[in-house]
Structure 1
Amino acid sequence: MSGPVEAAIRAQIPLGTRLPTPTDRATFVVHEMDASGLVLLFGPKETPTTFSWACLEGITGFLRERGWIRIGANRDVRGDETALDGYLKRHVKRQTANYVAVVLERAGLVELDSEPPARVRLRQQ
């Protein structure tokens, strides 16, 4: 049984979709969705990175009651716990927050402000 984040991503983003990062400096591909999670392809080598549905479903709880928060993508493997990057690095030790923020926006789950410092907030339902 899928949660609301999984259902929104599946409904709004077809496999093979190429999306821009918030800064428009790079693109990535929504490669695969299965029972275990979502696979995105990053960079020129299209390196696969998997996000479990549990990780992605947890983002709405992380964002709830916080208003706008920085995406905060950086290469520090610990991340900033007050930013989306810090939440994601609990699950995937890579710089992924920019990509995930765009997926969530395209799925209609968050609002994305790409002006530096880029930030997101849960979309008002």
Structure 2
Amino acid sequence: MAATLLHTRLYIASQYIAVPTEPLTLYNLDNLNSVGYRGGEDVYLTSDIDISTNLDWLKGCTVEKDGGTGKQKTGVIILVDKGEGVVDVFYFYFWAFNYGGTILERQLGELL
């Protein structure tokens, strides 16, 4: 996720907005909650370069033989103990890119 943030731009309603604290990182991402007209709800990030060029950072990390990714984190599991034997478990996995086909006559790209 950190590599992806370094290659994105901040937008509201298709208008570029300067990031309050540059560069945008995992440690200051919460600053976007104060941007925009609805407390960050109208903010989105998009790539600042052509993703169809198959960039190395967009392809993610290499999975090791044991299934690990070393120091690079690609997902997270959150456990919430509700008490009385009830536990909520949330699984999150991050993809920097997901092939989206052709939208509005524009192919969104495909990683090889």
TM-score w.r.t. structure 2 length? 0.25
* Between structures 1 and 2, the one with greater strand share: 2
TM-score w.r.t. structure 1 length? 0.24
